[in-house]
Structure 1
Amino acid sequence: MLDDAELEALKTRIEELSLEHRDLDDAIQALQESPAVDHLRLRRLKKRKLQLKDSIARLRSQMIPDLDA
């Protein structure tokens, strides 16, 4: 069970990661629209975006209380 401080820390971290995820989304969109697309950089940004998505999902799952069956 998480205490209030741990829960707030998780929420804060999720917000930070979500912001970075949105920023990467904008950067990827801009890079794709660029006439000289750097495919390696684009791949790296997309990979980082997926890592962030996984991290966010993992943190959100930690916020769900364990239920005793």
Structure 2
Amino acid sequence: NNRYMKYKIKSNRYMKYKIKSNRYMKFKIKSNRYMKYKIKSNRYMKFKIKSNIYMKYKIKSNRYMKYKIKSKIE
């Protein structure tokens, strides 16, 4: 009987450990999701930067067009 009790206590500890590891897994999964979100936002930032460069390019070409028109008028 005593042995059985010790065994039960041990299994109880094991269950607590399992529960803790489960919580840890949930935390890991959450952090994983967060990382995915961060990566997505990073991609979005790259896209924004690219579009920004594109806008600068457009503005430059616009100035160039104005310059061309001026030179034609002259």
TM-score normalised per structure 1: 0.47
